Amino acid sequence: MFGVAKKLRAAGVLGLNERNADFIMRLNPRRLYPRVDDKIITKELALQAGMAVPEMYGVIRNQGEVRRFGEIVANRESFVVKPAQGSGGDGILVVTGRSQRKRDSFRLSSGVRISEAEIKHHLSNIVGGQYSLSGNPDKALIEYCVHFDPTFAEVSYQGVPDIRIIVYLGYPVMAMVRLPTRASDGKANLHQGAVGAGVCLATGETLTGVLDNDVVDEHPDTGALISGLCIPHWDFIMESAARGYEVTGLGYLGVDTVIDREKGPLILEMNARPGLNIQIANCTGLACRIKRIDKIFNAGATPDERAQICRQEFPATR
Amino acid sequence: MKQRYVFVLALLLTAVGMSVFVYKWQVLGFPLTEDRETPVWTIESAISFDSGPGSIKVNLLIPTLTPGFRKLNENPISRGYGFSLNYGSGGREAQWAVRRADGPQTIYYRISVYEDAQADQLDTTPPFPPPPVINEPFKTAVDVLVNDVRDQSADAESFTSELLRRMNDPSLGPNLELLLSNVSSNSEFVEVATMMLAAARIPARKVHGFSLSGRQRHAQLITWLEIHDGDRWRYFDPATGEESMPERFLVWWRGNESLVRVEGGSNVEVDFAVQRNHVDAIAIARLHAGQDSTPLIDFSLYSLPIRTQAVYGVLLMIPIGALIMVFMRNFIGIDAFGTFMPVLIALAFRETKLFWGVVLFTLLVALGLSIRFLLERLRLLLVPRLSAVLIVVVLLMLVISLMSHKLGMETGLSVALFPMVIIAMTIERMSVVWEERGPADALRGAFGSLLIAIAAYIAMGVTSLEYLIFTFPELLLVILAIVVMAGRYTGYRLLELRRFKALTGD
């Protein structure tokens, strides 16, 4: 038992206790949390910083505004409903189309039909705080539904794959692609059953994947090979992730990016408590990369410089 | 740097907690385990007499200095008499008085004592006694005897032994024959001895008391001889001349005064009864400390009313449950619903006992969950839905209680002790997890909660631990220190070792 712990320590693997005590509590001041916990604020801050984000169609702030839903999506064929303060992808509804004859009938990404009344009930639940981190009343967000880039078409089952990058003091130290599966119900969260694949920071090429803490080579639903895919706009994605540090002020940050077919990379959300599965996806410990950054840290470096340094420092080891 | 503050704080808390604990344990004599009981002796003296026509005054000599024993409590019991305690030449004196009484009267005085080898109370060093005034022919006899014995002894101690040996010798000399001619009781025998010791300028006195053993309905007063050797009092067996003391000898009074004086009454009789019983060592420690008036005792939980004590007996175990919670979550890494839900469930288990607790909890959550899924179809808003779940939980509790009562299983009644609000929240949270992440995650969380609850229940149910925390609440500071230290534990959780196993490089 202690032998395993020793080996993990030597491999620089970060544990939850260490992440919480040494990084989140030290580098992420609580007053900055709303910047990432409230997706509406994140979006505004990112826009101000000149980053690309999915367009917001409307916000529902209280129960009374739920009836505005029809009006907000009147001209939209597809959209996403999500709680502003949701965690772990809970409460997200991806609407990919609507019936032409019956305008109040929608189709979800899973193919299931859903009525406007059902969406409104879902909105009420969001506003009531069912999905919020603290259980407090929340706001619901209706935004552009990303049409994902064909690069990942073969390795995702419904839903939208996204790219998670861990940013330590502005340096993007580790990345993975999260691929939805049938089990994850089209969501790109690893604990819901999505596949995570490590990424070589130097080239933006995917490595092997991880499913429920096990290493996998193929997508469980499509059977396509996960490794060796080249992420487009990798340069830009790394730089935007690095910029997330300036936007939020958080020293330990997870930046989630999606690649839209037409609009290119869009920042989807940022996370003050990014998970640790990324280490399994990359077969590498975070702690040793963080240690390296501590050594070469330069407070004056621009986001672009920091992204470049990381691409040189952390190529895939295999 | 923060690490150091945490360390110093934890050290400080531990130091304070442990030092108070050790003080109470070592100095105040609080026992570490519950079942240490000390025998307590209750001696009751009953004074009965026939009342005369006028006012009545009863004086009884009562224990003052009792080497080897400590007083637990004492109380006079009488009907219609005024009571007061006085200090006389022979020690403490209880006095009862009444203006008028009819018929035979009985007055009780009861004292409870417990053995304490350290109870060597300070006694005064007496002055050398004046030479007794004795008439002839006794004076000559005493002088001859004292000179004789003095020649054959070295000090006060050997003088006493030699004197008593001679007095008990079957072949008494003519001088002793004369001196002991009027002696009819042991008490008078000792009185003669003290008189002769006084003539030799050795302070001596009679000691009256009881040798305590078991239950005695009519305890016999024993008279013993006490002399002062210039340094301390020594006890001598008047029948053998050996320096000794009867086993468990409780000194009732000293001196030549008579035990009881009754003015205005006749046919006075005094009877003693001894009873032995066991009393919590805590009660004694409390009293013991109360006599030394320590604030630590004034703030002890034992000073609270019994009913409040029972509440705190349970409440003080919650930190133990919290400690288990910290251990299970931060060191092992088991997930649970709600931060302290398992601890509250464990509290409920205390009443239901483990097996029925687990059965009832599972039943309640399973039923609640299925009804919650039915409610889902109604599309209720969050707060009304939560309230509905709460009401359903209450109704389920009622149904389970009634059903089990009908079936003759009284354990089912204790379901009412479950924290229903917590259970309602658990059901709600579980149903959301069930829908969002699937039954596997929901069941894992529920199982984790139950596991922690069982662990907390077992830890909180250790009776010796419960006693220890209740008697030494300062130990909670030590637990606080452990929890604070755990808050800075940055090592791996046990389950993470398995989770990250692929990264060990093997």
Q: Which amino acid, one-letter code, is at B95?
A: Q
B52-63 residue pLDDT tens: 888 888 888 888
**CA nearest to B499 within chain A:** A213
Residue of B nearest to A121 (CA): B379
Contact yes or no for B490 and A17 at CB 8 A: yes
B503/A121 CB distance under 8 A: no
pLDDT exceeds cutoff 80 at A133: no
- Please report, for chain A, the start and end positions of each structural domain, with discontinuous segments joined by +: 7-52+148-313, 56-143
Domain ranges of chain B: 318-460
Burial B169-197 (b: 16+ CB within 10 A, else e): eeeeeebbebbeeeeeeebebbbbbbbbb
Kindly report the backbone phi and psi dihedral angles of residue A89, in degrees, each rounded to the nearest multiple of 5, phi listed first. 80, 5
Q: Residues in chain B, how many?
A: 506
Q: DSSP assignment, residue B220?
A: P
* pLDDT for residue B85 is more than 80: yes
Chain A nearest CA to B338, separation (Å): 12
Burial zone of B108 (CB within 10 Å; 0-12 exposed, 13-18 middle, 19+ buried) = middle
Listed residue (A21, A40, A9, A46) closest to A265, CA to CA:
A46
- CA-based torsion, B24, B25, B29, B33: positive or negative: positive
Q: Which residues of A touch B499 (CB under 8 A)?
A: 213, 280
Answer whether A27's CB lies under 8 Å from A250's CB: yes
pLDDT at A152 > cutoff 80:
yes
pLDDT at residue B141, rounded to an integer: 81
The residue-averaged pLDDT of B356-379 equals: 86
Cβ–Cβ gap B497/A1 under 8 Å:
yes
Chain pair A-B, CB pairs under 8 angstroms: 91
Sort out which chain B residues have CB atoms less than 8 A from A213's CB and list them. Answer: 499, 502
Work out the pLDDT band at A169, boundaries 50, 70, 90.
Answer: very high
pLDDT band at B480 (very low <50, low <70, confident <90, very high): very high
Smallest CA–CA separation between B372 and chain A, in Å? 14
The tokens describing B270, both together, are: 């005094």
User: Which one has a higher pLDDT value, A33 or B411?
Assistant: A33
* Three-state secondary-structure class, residue B46: strand
What is the overall mean pLDDT for chain B?
82
Identify the CA nearest to B463 among candidates B329, B323, B320.
B320
Q: Tens of pLDDT along A44-82?
A: 999 998 889 999 999 999 888 889 988 888 888 889 999
CA A125 to chain centre: 23
H/E run at residue B5: helix B2-22
Residue B324, C-beta contacts closer than 8 angstroms, at least 6 positions apart: B343, B452, B455, B456, B459, B460
Helical (H) or strand (E) element with B11: helix B2-22
Shortest alpha-carbon distance between residue A68 and chain B (Å): 17
- The CB-side HSE value for A75 (13 A sphere, CA atoms) comes to 2
Whether residue A21 and residue B437 make contact (CB cut-off 8 A), yes or no, is no
Neighbours of A15 (CB within 10 A): 26
In whole angstroms, give the CA distance from residue B424 to residue B312: 26
Rank A27-31, A148-152, A166-170, B197-201 by mean pLDDT and report only the highest: A166-170
Distance CA B34, CA B57 (A): 45
> Rounded to an integer, what distance in angstroms lies between the CA atom of residue B317 and that of residue B319?
5
Residue B485 token pair: 């230290």
Phi, psi dihedral angles at A146 (to 5 degrees): -70, 135
For the ranges A46-55, A77-86, B93-102, B139-148, which has the lowest average pLDDT?
A: B139-148
Nearest to A197 by CA among A189, A206, A205: A206
Q: Distance between CA B459 and CA B129 in Å, rounded?
A: 66
Q: Are B253 and B91 in contact (CB under 8 A)?
A: yes
Nearest chain A Cα distance for residue B498, angstroms: 9
Residues of chain B with Cβ-Cβ distance to A90 below 8 Å are 432, 436-437
pLDDT of A27 > 60? The answer is yes
**Segment among A144-153, A163-172, B302-311 with least mean pLDDT:** B302-311
Q: Are A81 and A126 in contact (CB under 8 A)?
A: yes
User: Which range is least confidently modeled, A170-174, B406-410, B476-480?
Assistant: B406-410
Mark yes or no for CB contact A280/B503 under 8 Å.
yes
Please report the DSSP string for chain A in residue order: -HHHHHHHHHTTPPPHHHIIIIIIHHHS-GGGHHHHHSHHHHHHHHHHTT---PPEEEEE-SGGGGGGHHHHTTT-S-EEEEETTB-TTTT-EEEEEE-SS-TTEEEETTS-EEEHHHHHHHHHHHHHTTTBSSSS---EEEEPPP-B-GGGGGG--SS--EEEEEEETTEEEEEEEEE--TTTTT---GGGT-EEEEEETTTTEEEEEEETTEEESB-TTT--B-TTPBPTTHHHHHHHHHHHHHHH--SEEEEEEEEETTTEEEEEEEESS--SHHHHHHTS-HHHHHHHHHHH--TT--HHHHHHHHHHH-----
pLDDT for B123: 66
Find the mean pLDDT for residues A11-23.
Answer: 87
Residue B294, pLDDT > 60, answer no
Instruction: Write out chain A residues lying below 8 Å of B492, CB-based.
Output: 5, 8-9, 13, 15, 17-18
| Residues in A 3-22 with any Cβ partner in B closer than 8 A | 4-5, 7-11, 13, 15-18, 21-22
Interchain proximity A214–B502, CB inside 8 Å: yes
Mean pLDDT of A11-29: 87
Residue B128 has a pLDDT of: 72
* A179 and A290 Cβ atoms separated by less than 8 Å: no
Domain A7-52+148-313 fold is D-amino Acid Aminotransferase; Chain A, domain 1 (3.30.470)
Alpha-carbon span A178 to B163, nearest angstrom: 106
Provide the token pair at B324.
């288990």
- Helical H runs in B438-462? 439-460
Instruction: Decide which of A254 and B383 is more confident.
Output: A254
- Percentage of chain B modeled with pLDDT above 70: 88
Q: Provide the pLDDT confidence category of residue A239 given band limits of 50, 70 and 90.
A: very high
Give me the mean pLDDT over the A25-31 stretch.
88
Hey, CA dihedral for A222, A226, A229, A233, is it positive or negative?
positive
Question: What DSSP element (H or E) covers B349?
Answer: helix B341-352
Confidence at residue A163, expressed as pLDDT on a 0 to 100 scale: 92
Judged by a CB distance cut-off of 8 A, whether residue A67 touches chain B is no
Dihedral angle, C-alpha A123, A127, A129, A130, nearest 10 °: -10
Dist CA B444 CA B434 (whole Å): 10
> B264 Cβ partners below 8 Å, 6+ apart?
B51, B52, B53, B54, B55, B56, B57
- B335 CA: distance to closest CA in chain A (Å): 13
Q: Is B361 helix (H, G, I), strand (E, B) or coil?
A: helix
Half-sphere exposure of residue A108: CA atoms within 13 angstroms, side-chain side: 15
- Tell me, what's the pLDDT at B341? 85
Distance from CA of A45 to the nearest CA of B (A): 29
Burial of A121 (0-12, 13-18, 19+ CB in 10 A): middle
Q: Place A181 in a pLDDT band, splitting at 50, 70 and 90.
A: confident
Q: Is B276 helix (H, G, I), strand (E, B) or coil?
A: strand
Q: Do A130 and B379 lie within an 8 Å CB cutoff? A: no
Q: State residue B411's pLDDT score.
A: 64
Do A297 and A173 form a contact (C-beta atoms < 8 A)?
Answer: no
Q: Which residue of A has its CA nearest to B506?
A: A7
Q: Do A11 and B504 touch (CB under 8 A)?
A: yes
Beta-sheet strand order (sheet of B204-211)? B233-236, B222-228, B204-211, B249-254
Q: Which chain A residues touch B338 with a CB distance below 8 Å?
A: none
Single-letter amino acid code for the residue at A26: R
Q: What is the pLDDT of residue B304?
A: 64
CB A155, CB A226: distance < 8 Å = yes
Average pLDDT for residues B251-256, to the nearest whole number?
84
Indicate the residue of B487, B490, B501 with minimum beta-carbon distance to A22: B490
Q: Do A8 and B492 touch (CB under 8 A)?
A: yes
Per-residue confidence (pLDDT) for residue B14, from 0 to 100? 94
| pLDDT for the residue B119 | 63
- CA-CA distance, B131 to B201, in Å (whole number)? 7
CB contact under 8 A, A1 and B494: yes
**Mutate: best of A17, A67, A90, A207, partner B, most B CBs <10 A:** A17
Least trusted range by pLDDT, from A7-11, B73-77, B307-311, B452-456: B307-311
Handedness of CA B166, B169, B175, B177 (dihedral sign): positive
Nearest CA in chain B to A282: B503
Which tops the pLDDT comparison, A317 or B394? B394
The lowest-confidence range among A130-144, A253-267, B114-128, B319-333 is B114-128
pLDDT for B320 equals 92
Q: Where does B244-317 have alpha helices with state H? A: 281-292, 295-298, 306-315
Please tell me the least confidently modeled range out of A145-159, A298-312, B276-290, B441-455: B276-290
Give the one of B330, B382, B490 whose C-beta lies nearest to A130's C-beta: B382
Of A34-48, B77-91, B222-236, B335-349, highest mean pLDDT: A34-48
Q: Specify the pLDDT at position B190.
A: 86
